[in-house]
Every structure is written in C-alpha cells, then in structure tokens.
Amino acid sequence: MIYQARKGQVSSGEAIGILLLDTSVPFIPGDVANATTYPFPVRFRKVEGFTVARAIGKDPSIYDGLHHAACELVDQGVRAITGDCGFMALHQKRLARELPVPVFLSSLLQIPFILSILGESGKVGVITADGRSLDEALLAAVGVTDVDRLVIQGLEEQPDFYRFAIEESGSLDPTKVEAEVVAAGRCLMAADDSVKALLLECSLLPPYASALQRALQMPVFDYISMINFVFSAVVKQPYEGFI
C-alpha cells in the first residue's frame, strides 16, 4: 500500500471530530469532551464564542464559527463530525449539507430510531439540560415529528446540575448530579408509564447513564451511544475467526 500525505494535515488516526462549546466545566470520564470516554482516538475543536447560553438560546448567528471549526476538523482528516450539545440540532441540516463527511451534531438524532424499535405505543423519555428550550422546532430539525411520543424532563431546576453546567461554577459533585438525573428519570416514569426508553440530550449526562439504567431497568441512549455507532460505520473492523 502506498500512503499519500494530505496537505495541511498534521496528524492521523482520528476518525471522529467533535465540535465543543466555548465553556469551562469539569469534563469527567463519560463526558463527550473527555478523550478517555472513547476506545478510539478523537479530535476536538472548540467553537469560539459558542457559549452555553447561545446554544440553549438557539442563536443562529453562531453558524459561521461552527462551520469554520468543522471545516478545520475535516481538513485534519476526520471521517465524521459530531458535537457536544444537543441544542446544536438547530444547525444539523445545513452543516450536513455543506460538509463532505457525515454530520451528527445532536444526540436528539437518535429519537426517530428509538421510536421505531419501541412499537407504536412506546414513548421515549428525554432528559435535557433545559426542558423549556427543547421545543417542536428544534426537534423537527432532527426529523422528530411525532412529539406526542416524547416525555421531556428538564434539569434546569436541579441545583447541582444547574450550578456546574449552566452557571459554570467550575466544580462538580458527580454523586449529587447523578441523584438529580436519576430523580428526573423517575419523574418521567411517574408521568407516563408508556416510556420504554430514555435519551439523554446533554453531552454532560452520559457519566450518569449507567446509574439511570440500574434504577429504571430500561434502554438508555446518549451522545456516546450515537458516537460509538457512527464510528463503527466509518471505521469498519475486519472479522477474524473460524467455522
């Protein structure tokens, strides 16, 4: 095999490029922005000025910065582009149209798939950083049209989550946040017993997915399940064995 250099590319082997918010919180293992979360290398790129407030506020003016950062990742050889905030869904269709690699910015993209495997009566419980901002327009941007099959629970009134994730206090007690996430899941189940699977919208929530599953005994989807799935499609592994 003859390898060819790609002009401007300074390293190789990072198939997944991850666009990061311009934020400062503890990125613990399991967080999308922690490289040890993955069993494969990833490449990060911060989108300057893309703050939590602008993400939750669905500010369309950030698109040029987002596009520029994504193009830099593509130039460095990534095979697919994801993000670290479910509210990046606002930019999904446009960025996917304008980039030469697959784009999957938001964990919310998994909702149509999850609904399709639950049966017609099953619902998806969505735990989000801010339930007030997760509206029908944002869901439509990722192909969700049957909003009646969603039960949404926001964490905006949970004090420990709010302090570390929204106010960016700089510190995190994962035990307390885990308790708040599990409580949100129990609240979803109490509201509607048709919920058959859970989706965590926020990129800060995968560290608590295991505890949530233990408590509620159902499938839990999050950013990491999505990223692992796409990686398996863009980097196929050869099979070895015997018959």
pLDDT of residue 192: 94
Is the model's pTM score more than 0.85? yes
Q: What is the Cα–Cα distance from 216 to 202, expressed in whole angstroms?
A: 19
CA distances from 47 to 31, 54, 81, 105 (A): 17, 12, 13, 13
Please report, in tens digits, the pLDDT of each residue of the chain (243 residues total).
898 888 888 889 999 999 999 999 999 999 999 999 999 999 999 999 999 999 999 999 999 999 999 999 999 999 999 999 999 999 999 999 999 999 999 999 999 999 999 988 899 999 999 999 999 999 999 999 889 999 999 999 999 999 999 999 999 999 999 999 999 999 999 999 999 999 999 999 999 999 999 999 999 999 999 999 999 999 999 999 999
DSSP 75: H
